A and B are shown apart, each in its own frame.
Chain A
Amino acid sequence: MRRIGFFLLLLLLGALVVGCSASDTDTGTKKEETGGEKPEVVGETEKEAGLSGEITVWAHPFTGDQETEGAMWDEVIASYEEQTGVKVNFEQIPWANRDQKVLTALAANNGPDVFYVIPDQMPQYADAGMLLALDPYLEGFDIDDFVDTALVSTTWKDELYGLPILQEAYTYLYNVDVIKAIGEDPANLPATWEEFEKWAEKAKDKGFYATSFQGGGSMNGTLYPFLWQAGGDVITADNEVLINNEAGVEAFEFINKMYKEGWIPKDSITALEHDALWEGGKMLAVQGSGISVSRMLSQDLFEFVIAPPMKNKEQLTYGTTGMFVAPINTDNPAAAAEFIKVVTNSDNQKKFNTVTQYIPTRESAKDIFGEQKYLAQLADYTQFALPGVIHPEGRTIMPLIQAELQTMMEGKKTPKEAADAAAKAIEGKIGK
């Protein structure tokens, strides 16, 4: 009996520790206990002069050169601290499992005051009430300097939840040796699907793949650009599913044709990259962005040229937008909002994007690539770059579409059947 009593005592002790730990979190971090409720919007005076305390900022490693990147952050943070008097606790979070880290920290009311997200995450988090709307903190702020396509991904239901710091534009990089091998002119690259098809056929005849297709990766790099170029889309903000309309089916058909004709490798159904084929000179073109250009330049494998985003009915492509946001339960919303404004101002965008080799989202910061012809070219193409499907279910529906696309490529469904099945799956998901 005493033994049982002893173990009960231990259990009680454990329960107390559990209870105390929760209590400590509540009081120790001074987070808002109501969590989901919006913090009071601060007055103009406080916004201008009353900033104090400290904030925690989470960002990810954007380059392999941590020394240079660290020095850049030190400089950016110093400018903010000097301007506001608010202390910044900067923490670099690995990319892997970042969703879990952010979500568990926010759920525990112990998360950062500012963190980095990509377009897929923003509407999902905003729609769930997890993000602080920044509009009340932006009076007099020069928002017009931002590239329009960059702000698309920071806005959900007419409210601005983040400010963008980087942008990308994916377009085709062509191997000049292969262009010459198929008897074409590197100065006259394909601009439309029709022109691309002719080049692809020639490449196939000469034993090259026309391009890469990473069917196991994000739809942002596979189906969506073709969908937008065909004049279609996946879903509207009002939940109207468009993926199986005429334009949608045309995009499915184009991909199916590329696969069946052997213009893309056979493993494109689930491939995550085709670096070996591209770098081995066996591929005419790949979709790439600034990172791809930097990699090509550092490896110096062969001469390449960059084409503008292709056009069928529209000239569009994909390009991610990286932004900083604040969680709704930050205990220092004004300081968090101010940090987001400072880190994305023109000077800091120049510093950040010079180091990371991404494209600034402010027109006034785009001159950093003046002497780098490839990056300057990509910077010009961000005007055509859509940031993905801006919808709370944007990430959720992607695997559903991917599965149907894979089924089509395996030959188990026609493009029309696959597009219809994708539409049905999306409707099922948003109707749940």
Chain B
Amino acid sequence: MKREWNRNAIVYIFLIPVLVHFLIFQIYPFVLSFYLTFMDWKVIGDPEFVGLKHWKYFLTDRLAWKAIWNTVKFSAYYIVPTMGLGLILALIINSGVKTAGLFKGIFFLPVVTSFVIIAGIWGWLFRGTEAGMINYLLSFIGIEPQLFLSNSSQALAVLAGLSIFKVAGSTMIYYFAGLQSIDRQLYEAARIDGASSFKIFWTITFPLLRPIHFFVAITTTIGSFQIFDSAYLLTGGGPNYATTTIVYYLYEQGFTSLNLSYAAVLSYVLFFIILVISLIQRKYLGQESNNY
């Protein structure tokens, strides 16, 4: 034991700063915000204990449930297309085309571009008047201008499109790494057996990317439940709360309404939702992830 300690001592020492940082900036706020859910606190002064008041209010808060439902809908619009597009882009740059490096740079560009800039461009593209680029293009094929961000049934999908455009590049990189790690001999053997490209993809590539699917599914799901910026920048949560997501609502409660305790409740609700979904994904997607 002592020998093991001596061998690992330097590792433990190097871990100390990280652990201290983790305790101060992760665990301490996490615990404190749970404590805050049972308090009324007006920022300055001492918090007042109110028991389960804020948790009970959450159960009857129509807007909170609408925000959760909007977030679930956003996830439905966002997760699979992000994974699919990331995989398609990875297949393109993995195909050996001469310009693969250029494509990789182009596809990755939105990831490293400021979200505010991309949101500004997206807002212009999907402007609900004839001044919007998409409406301008639609006019050539005789389609009436669409309201897009001003339409409660279109706005969330437009925001999801923005997030897909922004994130697909990073998903591509994960899939590209996964594709690179697949043994080439498997492909050669399949081709000798006369398998078509689609058959090869469906029976070799796709199943062997399972660990990547799992990782990307987890990260995009978490990302989708934390969506905030696009609603904040483009719609302000509207029209009629159609794009009010759980984090947007949390932000509004915490920093506009100064209901910090209720915002803490919402943050814990979000935490439990993400935890449960991650556990479900782990159970069904994570199985056999180390089998190749």
Q: State the A residues within 8 Å of B (CB).
A: 2, 6, 10-11, 13-15, 17-18, 21, 34-37, 97, 99-100, 103, 106-107, 124, 128-130, 215-217, 265-272, 274, 276-277, 280, 327-329, 395-396, 399, 402-404, 406-407, 409-410, 412, 432
A35-B150 contact, Cβ under 8 Å, with A6-B12, A270-B155 = no
A271-B44 contact, Cβ under 8 Å, with A6-B12, A10-B16, A395-B256 = no
Which of chain B's residues have a CB closer than 8 A to the CB of A37? Answer: 45
New contact pairs (17) apart from A18-B24, A35-B44, A406-B240, CB-CB < 8 Å:
A13-B20, A14-B19, A18-B23, A106-B43, A130-B44, A215-B150, A215-B238, A266-B129, A267-B148, A270-B149, A280-B131, A395-B256, A402-B238, A403-B238, A403-B239, A410-B152, A432-B57
Which of B15, B44, B129, B236 lies in contact with A106, CB distance below 8 A?
B44
Question: Quick check: A17 and B238 within 8 Å, CB to CB?
Answer: no
Closest residue of A by beta carbon distance from B23:
A14
Closest residue of B by beta carbon distance from A127:
B42
Which of B127, B155, B241 lies in contact with A403, CB distance below 8 A?
B241
Which of chain A's residues have a CB closer than 8 A to the CB of B239? Answer: 215, 269-270, 403, 406-407, 409-410
Q: State the B residues within 8 Å of A (CB).
A: 1, 5, 12, 15-16, 19-20, 22-24, 27-28, 42-46, 57, 123, 127-129, 131-132, 145, 147-152, 155, 234-241, 252, 255-258, 260
Which of chain B's residues have a CB closer than 8 A to the CB of A329? Answer: 44
Q: In the complex, what distance in Å separates the CA atom of A406 from the CA atom of B177?
A: 46
A399-B237 contact, Cβ under 8 Å, with A17-B23, A100-B255 = yes
Rounded to whole Å, the gap between the CB of A258 and the closest CB of chain B is 15
Which of B19, B150, B252 lies in contact with A269, CB distance below 8 A?
B150
Question: Quick check: A13 and B258 within 8 Å, CB to CB?
Answer: no
Q: When A and B form their complex, which 3 residue pairs have the shortest distance between CB atoms, in order from nearest? A: A36-B45, A267-B128, A14-B23
Q: In the complex, what distance in Å separates the CA atom of A327 from the CA atom of B43?
A: 11
Which of chain A's residues have a CB closer than 8 A to the CB of B127? Answer: 267
Rounded to whole Å, the gap between the CB of A431 and the closest CB of chain B is 12
Question: Quick check: A267 and B255 within 8 Å, CB to CB?
Answer: no
Question: Quick check: A269 and B238 within 8 Å, CB to CB?
Answer: yes
Question: Quick check: B23 and A267 within 8 Å, CB to CB?
Answer: no
A–B pairs, 27, beta carbons within 8 Å = A2-B5, A10-B15, A10-B16, A15-B23, A17-B20, A21-B24, A36-B46, A99-B255, A107-B44, A215-B239, A265-B129, A267-B128, A267-B129, A267-B150, A269-B147, A270-B234, A270-B235, A276-B131, A277-B131, A396-B256, A403-B238, A403-B239, A403-B240, A406-B152, A406-B238, A410-B151, A410-B240
Rounded to whole Å, the gap between the CB of B133 and the closest CB of chain A is 11
Question: Quick check: A216 and B236 within 8 Å, CB to CB?
Answer: yes
Q: In the complex, what distance in Å separates the CA atom of A129 from the CA atom of B19?
A: 37
Which of chain A's residues have a CB closer than 8 A to the CB of B46? Answer: 35-36
A266-B147 contact, Cβ under 8 Å, with A216-B238, A410-B152 = yes
Question: Quick check: B44 and A217 within 8 Å, CB to CB?
Answer: no
Rounded to whole Å, the gap between the CB of B209 and the closest CB of chain A is 36
Q: In the complex, what distance in Å separates the CA atom of A119 from the CA atom of B205?
A: 60
Task: Count A/B pairs, Cβ under 8 Å.
Answer: 138
Q: In the complex, what distance in Å separates the CA atom of A402 from the CA atom of B63?
A: 14
Which of chain A's residues have a CB closer than 8 A to the CB of B42? Answer: 36, 128-130
Which of chain B's residues have a CB closer than 8 A to the CB of A15? Answer: 23
Question: Quick check: B131 and A107 within 8 Å, CB to CB?
Answer: no
Question: Quick check: B258 and A270 within 8 Å, CB to CB?
Answer: no
Rounded to whole Å, the gap between the CB of A286 and the closest CB of chain B is 14
Which of chain A's residues have a CB closer than 8 A to the CB of B1? Answer: 2
Rounded to whole Å, the gap between the CB of B253 and the closest CB of chain A is 9
Q: In the complex, what distance in Å separates the CA atom of A36 from the CA atom of B46?
A: 7
Rounded to whole Å, the gap between the CB of A160 and the closest CB of chain B is 19
Question: Quick check: A130 and B131 within 8 Å, CB to CB?
Answer: no
Question: Quick check: B24 and A267 within 8 Å, CB to CB?
Answer: no
Which of chain A's residues have a CB closer than 8 A to the CB of B236? Answer: 216-217, 270, 272, 399, 402
Question: Quick check: A107 and B43 within 8 Å, CB to CB?
Answer: yes
Question: Quick check: B150 and A17 within 8 Å, CB to CB?
Answer: no
Which of B28, B147, B235, B238 is the most central at the interface, judged by chain A CB atoms within 10 Å of its CB? B238
Q: In the complex, what distance in Å separates the CA atom of A270 from the CA atom of B147?
A: 9
Which of chain B's residues have a CB closer than 8 A to the CB of A276? Answer: 131
Q: In the complex, what distance in Å separates the CA atom of A310 from the CA atom of B234?
A: 30
Q: In the complex, what distance in Å separates the CA atom of A180 from the CA atom of B155?
A: 38
Q: In the complex, what distance in Å separates the CA atom of A413 from the CA atom of B73?
A: 24
Closest residue of A by beta carbon distance from B259:
A396
Rounded to whole Å, the gap between the CB of B29 and the closest CB of chain A is 10
Which of chain A's residues have a CB closer than 8 A to the CB of B155? Answer: 270
Closest residue of A by beta carbon distance from B235:
A270
Rounded to whole Å, the gap between the CB of A22 and the closest CB of chain B is 10
Closest residue of B by beta carbon distance from A105:
B43
Q: In the complex, what distance in Å separates the CA atom of A34 from the CA atom of B45?
A: 7
A17-B128 contact, Cβ under 8 Å, with A269-B150, A328-B44 = no
Which of chain A's residues have a CB closer than 8 A to the CB of B257? Answer: 395-396
Rounded to whole Å, the gap between the CB of B32 and the closest CB of chain A is 10
Q: In the complex, what distance in Å separates the CA atom of A241 from the CA atom of B257?
A: 18
Question: Quick check: A266 and B255 within 8 Å, CB to CB?
Answer: no
Rounded to whole Å, the gap between the CB of B252 and the closest CB of chain A is 7
